[in-house]
Structure 1
Amino acid sequence: MLRGIYPGSFDPVTFGHVDVITRSAGKVDELIVGVLNNKAKSPLFSAEERVRMLEEITKEMPNVRIFPFEGLLVDFARKMKADLVIRGLRAITDFEYELQMAQTNHKLEPELETVFLTTSLEYSYLSSSTVKEVAAFGGDISRFVPEIVADRIAEKMKKKESVD
């Protein structure tokens, strides 16, 4: 059984992420989507909120499971008994960073392989940071994220406005 991990912060989940999840799920027997809880950052959504959104988005994908994690990816991969890490690449700048991470992970855990999927052209410009910026200025993000995510971002922005 081939088990892959697609790790990320997914803050928020974009159509680019969904594309990589869908394509990856078709290549492995089981896909673990690892939602990174990075204590050094202040995300828009908590890890639990991101997990719940991803569970809703992937509910029709029977071989996809969503888990939060902290710490080193290799430790999470070991815990999940994963065979490979799947990473999406949008541009050459992504490749430089991802290659360094893959090589570091391979040094830490030689049995863990990393595979790269290039982003579908229609999502190559898209990032979670861009989505948050557009949303912060009241722009339409419906072409960037699933409806459930757009609704949750709108709720977050309304709460933020009422506090300001």
Structure 2
Amino acid sequence: MKVALFPGSFDPFTNGHADIVHRGLQLFDKIIISIGHNSRKQRYFPVEKIIGHVKEAFAENSQVEVITYDELTAELARKYQANYLLRGLRNTTDFEYENSIAQINRHLNNYLETVFLITSPQYAHINSSIIREVHRYGGDVNEFLPYQI
């Protein structure tokens, strides 16, 4: 069975993230959306709410699991017998950042391959940081999310 982790802080989980999961299901038997703690970031949306929203968004799909974690992604992959990390790329800046992480993860876990999917054009402008800022100032962000907040 091909199992992939889709790790991220997902603060919030956007339509762009959902698109990567849906497209990734064409490649993998199971995708575990792994909502991690990022020591460099303070969460804006409570993780419990994001978990609930993401579970609701994928409730009809038994191939998708949603978990939280606070450990190295490479170790989490071992625990779940996932040999793949699924990541989305919007632009070259994303690639530079993600490439470095992929190299370290591969060093920590020789069986772990990172698979990059290029973001679909209609979602390339969606950025969690921008969504948080719009929400913080009272803007409606629901069109950018696969759930309503």
Name the TM-score, length of structure 1 as normaliser: 0.86
CA deviation digits over 1:87-135, x for unaligned, max 9? 0000000000100000111111111000100000001011111111111
Identify unmatched segments of 5+ residues in structure 1.
Answer: 152-164
Deviant stretches of 4+, over 4 Å: none
Higher relative contact order (CA 8 A, sep 6+): 2
Question: Structure 1: which amino acid aligns with 2:64?
Answer: V
Larger radius of gyration: 1
Are residue 50 (structure 1) and residue 56 (structure 2) matched? no
Question: Structure 2: which amino acid aligns with 1:26?
Answer: Q
What is the DSSP-based 3-state SS (H/G/I as helix, E as strand, rest coil) of the residue aligned with 1:7?
A: strand
Q: Counterparts of 1:12-161 in structure 2 under 5 Å?
A: 12-148=12-148, 151=149
Question: Structure 1: which amino acid aligns with 2:115?
Answer: V
Where is the helix percentage greater, Structure 1 or Structure 2? 1
Name the TM-score, length of structure 2 as normaliser: 0.94
Once residues 49 and 77 of structure 2 are traced to their aligned partners in structure 1, the CA distance between those partners, rounded to angstroms, is 22
What is the DSSP-based 3-state SS (H/G/I as helix, E as strand, rest coil) of the residue aligned with 2:82?
A: coil
Identify unmatched segments of 5+ residues in structure 2.
Answer: none
- Give, in angstroms, the shift of residue 39 of structure 1: 4.7
Once residues 13 and 40 of structure 1 are traced to their aligned partners in structure 2, the CA distance between those partners, rounded to angstroms, is 18
Conserved in 2, the CA contact under 8 Å of 1:86 and 1:116?
A: yes
RMSD: 1.3
